[in-house]
Structure 1
Amino acid sequence: MEAVSDSQSTCPPRLVDFAEELAGMAAAVARSYFRTSVSIDTKGDESPVTIADRTAEQRMREAISQRFPDHGVFGEEFGVDNPDADYIWVLDPIDGTKAFITGNPLFGTLVALLHKGRPLLGVIEMPALGERWIGAAGHPSRRRDANGLQDVRVRPCPDLGKAIMRTTSPDMFQGPQAGAYTSLEQACSLTLYGGDCFCYGQLASGFVDLVVESSLKPYDFMAALPVVTGAGAMATDWQGRPLTLDSAGDVLVAGDPAVHARALALLSGKT
């Protein structure tokens, strides 16, 4: 059992190393099943799940229980353990299972650690691409690939009319949100669909300017928050509030504060 200080403004390197270890073990599981004939089950919310999702999360949970038995875990496949713990790991073993089961390499593993409800660190792992983004409180965000580790930074883009936006699918926006989203899309220069967690890595690296999504679960976005904010982005819900475990999951991330403000006005109906 490893002890962790209860006061965290800067994430200790050993926690970052462990988060990368978790992401790596889940990625190894995902790669072993990728583009193989795995059976596909359907969960209660009609989303697909495979043995790869379940095995990867089990491996991560086992590692956490051995290293930090007093920590909580919130995982997509096996729910919440020890929810009142000061430290809670938030896990999505395969973010983008639809991409995974169709042989699309844009699926990822997400690992986040919250301290008293606040995101302390996050890892976006792309198993099929060999890329990893790491964000940790008190440190600049970084990207790791076969060439090593480099700091990443969002790019300036104060003009929404020149912004490139990404979202997983336009189908996630329903009811009044659909109209607000359409207004934002029409105001941007280019919108690309698909990518799931990869979109947040692209934004952190300065290749796109906006990521907008709706009705996500905490395990879909928690790991991305330290990555994008550590790279200089602004991340809120559609009302400009901080994203937490209790958020509705309506996510707006922008690399430039001026674009965030303009996008927020359109999405919140305050234009």
Structure 2
Amino acid sequence: METFWPEVLSFCQSTTKAIATELVAQSARIPAQRKADGSLVTAADQWSDQELRQRIAAQFPDHGVLTEETAHIFPANDWCWIVDPIDGTTNFARGIPIWGISLGLLYRGTPVFGFLHFPLLQQSFWGYWLENSGLTGPHGAFLNGEPIQVSGAEPSQNHLFNLCARSAAILTNPFPCKLRLIGVSSYNLALVALGAALGGTEKTPKIWDIAGAWPILLAAGGEFLCLRPEPLFPLTPGENYGDRPYPCITASRRELMEQFKPLVLAVQ
């Protein structure tokens, strides 16, 4: 594993940078279509999806791939990449600069490495979460190479809690933090890892919205609670994850998760 992790990081950095160059040129310039689940898709999503699959296959031929736009069946490979070719397609299509590429690397069904690249923000997050995997290697979470960790602050109206658009019902209840709707699931999780937000909730994220950010959040010391009855990870080979939502809550620490949970569940 000595050379494997540097290869993984270098691959993610160079690949997302190359693909982002083309995506930036297309942002807000191509039409979007509505998918069956109500989310938007553009030709840029489909191009990015194909490019990422091809590059992963060339660099890591023994690894499986699950992506938002094409392959939804989780493969039996020990190693599998879960790809969101553009997280934040609505922002991308409308010219809002908060969107990115999300890559999660899973080992035997559980994410052990995540990489998020937000080109117009000039931010790349990555993190290693090897606990209970039997693997050895680096640890920690990073933004542009600098270590990051969650905030230890107490909730107040000077601190942030992130929502997805489908969680807006929470606005009907008093909440201990200021609320933000950014429109990018992976970035919402990354902001908690960075310490910029104390928590957040997502009502209908799919596995590609979570897989890249989950190891970054945990490596930074954060908490993730999936609100489905079954465990989030490991994923099961042969299962179709295309239509499966994963409502969840994130928090900077366990005590805040206990504080946020009843407020979120009240509007689920």
TM-score by length of 2: 0.83
1:47 Cα deviation after fit? 2.0
- 1:191 maps to what in 2? 179
For residues 165-184 of structure 1, the aligned pairs below 5 Å read: 165-169=161-165, 171-172=166-167, 178=169, 181=170
Q: % of aligned pairs identical?
A: 24
Change (3 A) 1:241 1:210: farther
CA contact (8 A) 1:19 1:112 kept: no
Match of 1:263 in 2: 260
In 2, Cα distance between equivalents of 1:20 and 1:243: 27
Alpha-carbon distance change, 127 to 159 in structure 1, aligned in 2, over 3 angstroms: closer
Residues 109-166 of structure 1, C-alpha deviations (whole Å, 9 max, x = no match): 111010001111111111211111111134111111xxxx211111103457875201
AA aligned opposite 1:252: I
Q: Is the 8 A contact 1:202 1:208 kept in 2?
A: yes
Q: Could you tell me which of 68, 77, 98 is aligned with 1:76?
A: 68
Q: Distance in 2 between matches of 1:202 and 1:193?
A: 12
**Aligned pairs (5 A) from 1:61-140:** 61-80=53-72, 83-137=75-129, 138-140=138-140
RMSD: 2.7
Partner of 1:216: 205
43-52 or 224-233, which deviates more? 43-52
Letter of the 1:224 counterpart: A
User: CA contact under 8 A between 1:240 and 1:264: conserved in structure 2?
Assistant: no
Q: Flag structure 2 segments of 5+ consecutive residues without an equivalent.
A: 130-137, 236-240
Measured against aligned partners, the alpha-carbon deviations of 1:170-200 in whole angstroms (never above 9, x if no partner) come to x357xxxx5xx457x6232211112413222
Tell me the equivalent position of 1:58: 50
The one-letter amino acid paired with 2:164 is: T
Closer/same/farther in 2, CA of residues 268 and 45 from structure 1, 3 Å limit? closer
Q: How many residues align?
A: 249
Structure 1 gap ranges (5+): none
Asked whether the equivalents of residues 40 and 49 of structure 1 are also in contact (C-alpha less than 8 Å), the reply is yes
The whole-number CA distance in structure 2 between the counterparts of 1:218 and 1:252 is 14
Contact 2:155 2:198 in 1 (8 A): no
CA shift, 1:241, in A, is 7.2
1:23 aligns with 2:16: yes
Give the whole-Å Cα distance in 2 for the aligned partners of 1:127 and 1:162.
Answer: 28
Counterpart of 2:151 in structure 1 is 155
Separation in structure 1 between the aligned mates of residue 156 and residue 214 of structure 2, nearest angstrom? 22
Native 8 Å contact 2:148 2:194 kept in 1:
yes
TM-score w.r.t. the length of structure 1 is 0.82
Secondary structure of the equivalent of 1:70?
coil
- Deviation of 1:31 (Å): 1.0
For the Cα contact (< 8 Å) 1:215–1:250, is it kept in 2? Answer: yes
On the 8 A contact 2:68/2:208 being kept in 1, the answer is yes
Tell me the distance in 1 between the aligned counterparts of 2:71 and 2:19.
17
Q: Distance in 2 between matches of 1:123 and 1:155?
A: 21
Q: CA deviation at 1:239?
A: 6.5
Does structure 1 retain, via aligned residues, the 8 Å contact 2:102–2:209? yes
What does the per-residue CA deviation read over 1:4-54, in whole Å, with 9 as the maximum and x for residues that have no partner?
x6xx9xx72222222333322332231121132x13223222322112111
Cα deviation, 1:234-253, whole Å, max 9, x if unaligned, reads 11213697533477411211
